[in-house]
């Protein structure tokens, strides 16, 4: 189990060290257009899960959306603080 901040720190490390086989490195290299499509895809899956699926399935879809949002943040060089200042 990890928090949003802990996942972000892990992904920052992936972005810095670029290990082979990392899905994050692949996502970063796919570019902002592909990253944005993933955000929309996962957001749609969250919506559908909220309407039709179990709490567990909804929670999993939300985790994937959070991950895709972090990829967008990393790709643009945003920090957690850049986002949290608006919360
Ligand atoms: N939390 C996630 C996470 N959530 C989603 N995903 C990616 O999203 C994919 C699932 O999304 P999709 O349903 O769209 O499946 P897909 O394989 O992309 O399908 P296609 O669209 O390609 O057909 C997974 O196979 C992962 O590639 C994630 N990849 C990594 N993480 C975490 O990120 C950290 C770093 O991971 P690596 O970069 O892989 O080392 C680890 O803690 C991981 O647990």
User: What is the residue with the minimal CA distance to atom 6 of ligand 1?
Assistant: 64
**Residues with Cβ < 8 Å from 25, sequence gap 6 or more?**
14, 15, 18, 19
Domains of the chain: 4-79 (1.10.287.1080)
Q: What is the pTM of this model?
A: 0.94
Q: How far apart are CA 14 and CA 49, in angstroms?
A: 29
Q: How far apart are CA 47 and CA 42, in angstroms?
A: 9
Predicted confidence (pLDDT) per residue in 31-49, tens digit: 999 999 999 999 999 999 9
**Residues with Cβ < 8 Å from 51, sequence gap 6 or more?**
none
Residue 7: predicted pLDDT: 98
Ligand 1: which of 21, 67, 73 to mutate, judged by most atoms within 8 Å of the beta carbon? 67
| Ligand 1 pocket list (CB less than 6 A) | 10-11, 14, 22-24, 64, 67
Q: What is the ipTM of this complex?
A: 0.87
Q: How far apart are CA 60 and CA 9, in angstroms?
A: 20
Predicted confidence (pLDDT) per residue in 43-68, tens digit: 999 999 999 999 999 999 999 999 99
Residue 50: predicted pLDDT: 98
**Average pLDDT for the chain:** 98
């Amino acid at each position: 189990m990890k928090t949003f901040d802990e996942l972000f720190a892990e992904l920052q490390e992936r972005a810095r060290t670029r290990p082979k086989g990392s899905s994050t490195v692949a996502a970063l290299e796919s570019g902002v257009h592909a990253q944005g499509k993933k955000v929309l895809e996962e957001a749609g899956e969250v919506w559908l899960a909220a309407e039709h699926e179990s709490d567990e399935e909804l929670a999993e879809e939300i985790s994937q959306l959070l991950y895709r949002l972090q990829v967008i943040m990393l790709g643009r060089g945003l920090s957690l603080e850049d986002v949290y200042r608006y919360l």
